[in-house]
Amino acid sequence: MESRWNDEDAARFVEAARAEGQSEALGLRIYTSRLIGSDPDLVLHGGGNTSVKIRSDEGEQLMHIKGSGWDLDTIEAPGLPAVRLASLLEARNTPKLSDPDMVLLLRASLIEKDAPNPSVEALLHAFIPFDYVDHTHATAVLALADQPNMRDAIRRIYGDRLAYVPYVMPGFDLSIAADRIYRSHSDCEGLWLENHGLFSFANDARASYDLMIEFVTLAEQELARAGVALSGPQPNDGERDAALAARLEKALMRERSPFAKGVFLDYRSTEAIRELTSKPNVETISLRGTVTPDHVIRIKPWPMIIGADADEPAIESALAAYADRYRAYFERNATRANEKKRILDVYPRVVLVLGKGMFAIGANAKAAKIGGDLCEQAARAINAAEAYGCFTPISEADLFDMEYWSLEQAKLKIAV
């Protein structure tokens, strides 16, 4: 992976920030955030986050952190709301916060009260004592992060430059756990988050971005050392079966379906997707989970699988089996939750067509496209992970906790 930093582009972002009465640091933060966000092998659709710490004109320490609802590739200053750093740092020494209470703390710390919610990883950004902090879900990193027992391998690849953080669910618990690990490895230049992604940090925008590029490149080189070829984004060149799509649409739009009023299908058939869907054990692989935890909120824990020649009865049967599997998954895991969970709909968001491709499903075109993009990255990451060793994402219990996160359940209660 190559750095795409350009001095002239960086200077333009600095000048644009100054013209708006903003800091040079925020201008550079916007620039490198867009560099990261415009590379689909670093982040996709709301994944990853960035921050920068500054001092206000009054001397108060502030942190600009990616806000909810913004994508890094198009981010602007309003998408990096400022929070008071002191109040976030105090959370390091407080009793455990529930995630809703953490969100209240983050909102109470905002300089502008109508700003978007700061990233749920804002506390971790605050705790890391560097001006610039970058977090990505890079494809090469996921291929290695989704492996069992990688601590020694990560040390071999990165030495002391990265500190290894075992999987903890994003939010308050991850912020506290990662901070403790950082403070015991305070000379490190980044954090490797098991089953999740990568952090880099520095006091200079370019230095933090270049570290991210270097660390992802080292992951690519480790895959290559093991004989694993990880290609970049590929052309969507497989033929779409219009008749199969029509049968699928008809089945999905039945009464009481979340798609009863309309469904959008985004078909993808790249070389990597065809490789994945042709694997003899593709069902076993697919049922293991998503390549990074946040994907479960977009595309459910696993896809539905059908044959390329599936007729209407076969599709109906697959939907019924998917619903049964999903209800069983919910019942197994909801009983251990410390709050009552409300089951989501039991319909897939991805349909895998054996040997051919994948349909991403959405209630609108945007949702379907997002699912399709995630499928493309996931296929390349899973293929590489399987070629390197064994694709081993987070456990079913952890996957459920992410999908049924209290912050997501709160949105459901508002919608009722």
pLDDT, tens digit (0-9, with 9 covering 90-100), for 229-262: 998 899 999 999 999 999 999 999 999 999 999 9
Cβ neighbours of 73 (radius 10 Å): 17
Length of the chain, in residues? 416
Question: For position 410, what pLDDT does the model report?
Answer: 52
Average pLDDT over residues 398-403: 95
pLDDT tens, position by position, 122-141? 999 999 999 999 999 999 99
Average pLDDT over residues 264-280: 98
Average pLDDT over residues 343-361: 97
pLDDT tens, position by position, 70-116? 999 999 999 999 999 999 999 998 888 988 899 999 999 999 999 99
Rg (CA), the chain: 22
Average pLDDT over residues 181-197: 97
DSSP letters, 55-74, are: E-TTS-EEEEEPBTT--GGG
CA 382 vs CA 88, 141, 276, 312, 386: distances in Å: 36, 11, 8, 30, 6
Question: For position 246, what pLDDT does the model report?
Answer: 98
Both tokens of 94, joined, read: 């407080």
Same fold, 7-225 and 242-415: yes
Both tokens of 363, joined, read: 């209630």
Residues 6+ apart with CB under 8 A from 133: 50, 51, 52, 125, 199, 200, 201, 208
Looking at the whole model, is its pTM more than 0.85? Answer: yes
Q: Which fold has domain 242-415?
A: L-fuculose-1-phosphate Aldolase (3.40.225)
Q: Is the pLDDT of residue 411 over 50?
A: no
DSSP 265: E
Q: How far apart are CA 278 and CA 324, in angstroms?
A: 25
The most confident of 290-299, 338-347, 388-397, by mean pLDDT: 388-397
Task: Please give the share of the chain, as a percent, with pLDDT higher than 70.
Answer: 98
Q: 3-state SS of 235-264?
A: CCCCCCCHHHHHHHHHHHCCCCCCCCCCCE
Q: Are 124 and 175 in contact (CB under 8 A)?
A: yes
In the chain, the largest separation of any two C-alpha atoms, in whole Å, equals 68
Q: Which CATH architecture has domain 7-225?
A: 3-Layer(aba) Sandwich (3.40)
Question: For position 75, what pLDDT does the model report?
Answer: 96
Domain ranges for the chain, please list them: 7-225, 242-415
